[in-house]
Amino acid sequence: MNIWLPPRHFAAATAAVLALTACGGSGEPEPPGAPGSTPAAPVTAAPVTAASVTAAPSTATPEPSPVVGARTSPGATAEPGTASEGTPPLGSWSLQPLWPFSTLAQAEAWQRSYRSGGHRPWHLDPGQTALAFTRDYLGFEDIDRVSSTRVGGRHARVGVAPTGSEGGTAAVVHLVRFGTGPDAPWEVVGTDDTTFSLTTPAYGALVRSPLKTGGRITGVDESIHVQVRQPSSDTPLGTSACCTPAGGESRPWSVTVPFSGARDPVLTVVASTGGHVASVERFTVTAVRAR
């Protein structure tokens, strides 16, 4: 998520969220090492502790501002799941649910199970959710540390990084509360990007295979790998040949990825680069929908 904020399509908001909520299913992956079934406080997120992730101190240096022209994840402030204050709800064209829930119905099913038995309280913690998204969904196992956390209202920005990277942040994951109430779970909607962006395809776009992807990158001897994923599949729907060389100062990159087997409402396109000090040093994601 990345270089420019796509125009908001308010007329599509209601139809899109109805389409999402119509999809069934309530299961989502349990991240390795996630807290057990012990109930957490119903209205506060469980803290990110040393037992799960290494949290950054509260005085952590803020993430750099996105580069000029870089598209960032949507910054809507209305409550997700509602169209209040003229802002599209989560599930609309400009605010797509990536993970761990594919539909509002799934998020609400988790809320009921949490209220009745404290089921999977990690959904209330944006740091744990961001790390689970990175390690367990995207498969970037070396990224196991929270480098920064910013929470404002129902939005959170969580920096994630590989251990030993000396403060280097691989990505800033954007999350929002999915649904209503103080115990609405956190949902990943994209990334806020700086020196590595994914601008093609546009956020929320309808796509088909083969998928042309691209953006801009700053770096030296970079090696870009792109995958298309969906929450209901353990393996990628498609992956680019490894890997596309890139580098320079805000230089364009592009690669085409064939994919098949799309069945979820929203797909995740993820581009990553690394190989200098870690296998994945930076990544960026965007949300698309299959035709």
C-beta of residue 73 within 8 angstroms of C-beta of residue 157 = no
For 62-76, 254-268, 277-291, which range has the lowest pLDDT when averaged over its residues? 62-76
Instruction: List, edge to edge, every strand of the sheet that includes 171-177.
Output: 143-152, 155-162, 171-177, 186-192
Which one, of 145, 150, 149, 121, lies nearest residue 131 by Cα? 145
CA triple 254-142-263, angle to 5 deg: 55
Domain 10-25+57-290, CATH class in plain words:
mainly beta
* Mean pLDDT, rounded, for 123-133: 98
Residues 149-177: tens digit of each pLDDT = 999 988 999 999 998 766 589 999 999 99
pLDDT at position 277: 80
Which one, of 101, 93, 269, lies nearest residue 175 by Cα? 101
Joined tokens for residue 101: 């829930």
pLDDT at position 30: 52
Residues 245-276: tens digit of each pLDDT = 898 999 999 999 999 999 999 999 999 998 88
Domain boundaries, the chain: 10-25+57-290
SS3 label, residue 15: helix
Model pTM score: 0.73
What is the percentage of the chain residues whose pLDDT exceeds 70? 67
* Mean pLDDT, rounded, for 132-146: 96
Neighbours of 50 (CB within 10 A): 7
C-alpha to C-alpha distance for 217 and 139, rounded to whole angstroms: 22
For the cut 50, the answer to whether the pLDDT of residue 54 exceeds it is no
pLDDT at position 61: 34
